Structures are given as C-alpha cells and as structure tokens.
Amino acid sequence: MSIAENYNIIKKELPSEIKLIAVSKTKTVEDIKKVYDVGCRDFGENKVQELLNKYDKLPEDIKWHLIGHLQTNKVKYLPNLVYLIHSLDSIKLLNEIEKQFSKCNKVADVLIQINIGKEEAKTGLNIEDLDELISEVEKCNFVKVKGLMATIPKGNEESCRYYFKKMKEIFDNLTNKEFKNISMEYLSIGMSGDYEYAIEEGSNMIRLGSKIFGKRNYDLNNN
C-alpha cells in the first residue's frame, strides 16, 4: 500500500471531529509531499532541527506540530514556524516560550504534556506539578494552553485504556474549571498502535507515524 493510500484509508474511517496529525519525523520531504497532496495539512516533528531542515522545502500552509521534548535553547526558532507545541512540561520551558514569543509579538499555542505513566525515562510533567504550572500559565501574555498531550507506557489494550481514561479525567476536570489562558480544546493521545482505543476513550487528536509512512529507519537517520 502506498503512503497516500494509507492516509486516505485512515482518514476515511476517522470520525470527522478527530484531528489527525501525520508524524513525519525521519521521513523525507518527498514522502511528506505525498501525504500533503492527498489533503493532509497537519504534520508532526519531534526535533526542532529536523523541522527547520524541512520547513523551507514544503508548502507554507502546513501546520507544524512540535510533538517531541523541547529544549529551552531551541524555543527561539519556533515563533514563526510552529502551529502547536505539544510538549510544555516545565515552568522553565513555559518562561522561555513566553520570552521568545513576546519578542516576536506572537502567541504560542501549546499543550501540556503529562507523564501519565510516571515513567523515569520519559519527559512530560508529573501530575503533582500541574497546579503550579497552571498558575504560572495564568500570568503569561504570549502563551495559550489548548489542551493536554501524553505518550502512554507500552502495554496491552487494558493498560492503554487505563492511561487514556486517566488523561480524559484530567482533561474533563480542567474543562470544568476556569483559568486564564487555558481552554481545553485538544486531547492529544493515541499513536499508530493504540489510536482506536484512544478515540474510544475520548481523544480528539491523534498522532500517527508508522501507520501512514511505514516503519521508521532510525539507523539511516541517526535518530
């Protein structure tokens, strides 16, 4: 099956209210164009440098989603580049986003990434630190939180649903409260192996890489 066919099939089966992001990390500009040409406009990259390399070679109406861990020293490249940052996970990063976006007089739309499985090796905010981050977000002038993101621990269906449910609870809890600069629009959960469960558990934004583009070759890309 071709990349374009993969995209078309997934898109056809997807409820219209679910936002599909094609995760193009390690993939070539040519492959990205194939998905663009059949109508996809939302693409996800996990590294700022890789996004910078691809950005100029691709159409301007692409909405780029930064889905990977973001180092503070890379934030300065983002104000004119990125549509949505999925990986806000610390006050330090929040302050840097506020600073760099204010310089360009642009507002950053971001999701708070939660380390829902409390995995040591994973980035994302610990849930215990959420209240503190939220009160800092309320002080910002150039940051708007649009929802939540997570990558869940590897596991079977039961385990996946357990973590997705937990995310949905946090999402609903915040939806029912009022905070300055925060509106719960997107719940970004679900990847190639588990997106169907994620949608059933309340996701409205899924991030699919291998399901569209095929396996990633990390050797070639040194990624």
CB of 176 to ligand PLP, least distance (A): 27
Toward ligand PLP, which CB reaches closer, 167 or 191? 191
Toward ligand PLP, which CB reaches closer, 68 or 147? 68
Residue 85 binds to ligand PLP (criterion: CB under 6 A): no
Query: Can you list the alpha helix ranges (DSSP code H) found in 149-217?
Result: 157-175, 195-200, 210-213
Cβ contacts of 153 within 8 Å, gap of 6 or more: 117, 119, 159, 163
Phi, psi of 47 (to 5 degrees): -130, 135
Residue 117 binds to ligand PLP (criterion: CB under 6 A): no
Binding mask 19-58 for ligand PLP (x = CB under 6 A): ----x-x--------------------x------------
Torsion from C-alpha of 186, 189, 192, 195, nearest 10 degrees: -90
The correct pick among 19, 68, 117, 181 for binding ligand PLP (CB under 6 A) is 68
CB of 138 to ligand PLP, least distance (A): 26
Cα→Cα distances 84→27, 145, 220, Å: 20, 10, 28
For residue 56, what are its two tokens? 């100029």
DSSP class of residue 153 equals P
Residue 208 binds to ligand PLP (criterion: CB under 6 A): yes
Residues at the contact surface with ligand PLP, assessed by CB under 6 A: 23, 25, 46, 67-68, 151, 191-193, 207-211
